[in-house]
Amino acid sequence: MSALVGGVEAGGTKFVCALGRDGEIVAETRIATTSPAETLAAALAFFKHQGSPAALGVASFGPIDLDERSPTHGFITTTPKPGWAHTDVAGPLRRALGVPVAFDTDVNAAALAEQRWGAARDAGSVVYVTVGTGIGGGAVVNGRPVHGLAHPEMGHARIPHDRAADPFAGACPHHGDCWEGLAAAPALAARWGVSPQSLPDDHPAWALEAHYLALGLANIILTLSPERLVLGGGVLARSGLLERVRIDVRGLIGDYVRSADIVPPALGNRSGVLGALALAADLAG
C-alpha cells in the first residue's frame, strides 16, 4: 500500500485539506480562506492532528511562482485577492511539517487527477478547462503538469470577437475581450443583464457561449493536441452546452487534424484536492 500523503486545495474562498492515498481520501477538512496566517495555521493544525503525511501537495489559485530556481518559488504572486499577493504558501507548510511539498496550479492538479483517477484515465496527454467565475486551464504533457516560465493562463488568450454580432466589450479587467472576458460567467451576466442561471436553454446566449468556448478550445487543441480534453465548471452545468461546444469545435477544426474527445470531469469538485494528493504521491515516490 502506498504511503499516506496530504493534499491542500488552496482556493480563494476555501482551503480543502485532505489525507489520503491512491485517490482515496481518509480524512478531510474545509477551512474558510481568511488571512494567509490564519488560513495556513488552520491547515497546519489539521495535518498535525492527523499525523504528518509522507509528502504534501498544494493545488493553488494563482498566479503562482513555480520556478524552482526562484526565491519566491511556492508563492502566490500577483493575485488581486486582498492580503494574498506575494504570499509564501508552500514554505510555511514545508517548514512546519518537515516534509517535501509539491506546488502547482489548481487546474494543473485537476488535469493530473482526472488523468489518474477520472475522465482521462487512458489518455497520455490531458487538458483540463474550467469555466465559472473565470476560465482556467491546466495540462499534463509527457507525464507531468505543464510548467515553463510560469504556468498556463489559457483564459486570457484572445479569440475572434465579432463586435457587430456581439457589441459587448468584454469583462476582463486586464484584457477586456479575452476568452475569459467574453465567456466566463461574469461576461454572461454583464452581456445579458441577468444571472446566467436565469437564461432559458433556448436563449441565444447559449449558442454564442458555445461558439466562444469552442474558439478557445479549438486553439488549445491545435496547440497541444491533447488526447482528452476535460471541460468543467459551473457554466457547463447548462444542459446541452457541452454537446454544442463539441459540434462547434468539430466545425472549427474540420478534417484537418483529429480533435480530442471533449468530456465532462469525472471527479467533479474533488479534482483539485485529489490533484493535490496526486502531486504529493509523485513526490513521495
Residue ranges binding a copy of itself (CB under 8 A): 63, 78, 124-125, 137, 141-144, 146-154, 156-161, 174-175, 215, 218-220, 222-227, 252-260
The distance of closest approach from Cβ of residue 59 to a copy of itself in the complex, given in angstroms and rounded to an integer, is 17
**Cβ neighbour number for residue 41 with a 10 Å cutoff:** 13
For 206-248, give the secondary structure using H, E and C.
HHHHHHHHHHHHHHHHHHHCCCEEEEECHHHHCCCHHHHHHHH
Nearer Cβ to a copy of itself (4/249): 249
Least separation in angstroms between CB 49 and a copy of itself? 36
Closer CB to a copy of itself, 148 or 200, in the complex: 148
| Helix ranges (DSSP H) in 35-154 | 36-50, 90-97, 106-117
To a copy of itself, the closest distance from the beta carbon of 148 in angstroms equals 4
Which CB sits closer to a copy of itself, 15 or 179? Answer: 179
Min dist. Cβ of residue 41 to a copy of itself (A): 30
Any bridge partners for residue 130, and if so which? 136, 232
Print the SS3 string covering 247-285.
Answer: HHHHHHHCCCCCCCEEECCCCHHHHHHHHHHHHHHHHHC
Residue among 97 and 135 whose Cβ is closer to a copy of itself: 135
How many other C-beta atoms are found inside a 10 Å radius of the C-beta of residue 62? 21
Query: Which of 28/67 has CB closer to a copy of itself?
Result: 67
Min dist CB 242 to a copy of itself, Å, is 19
